[in-house]
């Protein structure tokens, strides 16, 4: 287990493409009642 902040720092170093994809997906979120729905296309855009 690790803190989320540590995981994000590791993503910045080793897989910035994954981090960018996740950030884009979260920034385009849709709130649906009690759910937060992220953009699946952006989330899965990492090759």
pLDDT in tens, 1-47: 999 999 999 999 999 999 999 898 888 888 989 999 988 888 888 86
Instruction: Extract the tokens encoding 44.
Output: 């899965």
CA 32 to chain centre: 18
pTM for the full model? 0.72
Q: Tokens 């979120």 appear where? A: 29
DSSP one-letter string for 10-37: HHHHH-HHHHHHHHHHHHT-EEETTEEE
* pLDDT number for residue 46: 80
């Amino acid at each position: 287990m690790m803190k989320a902040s540590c995981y994000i720092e590791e993503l910045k170093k080793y897989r910035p493409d994954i981090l960018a994809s996740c950030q884009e997906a979260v920034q385009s979120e849709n709130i649906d009642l009690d759910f937060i729905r992220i953009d699946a296309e952006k989330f899965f855009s990492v090759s």
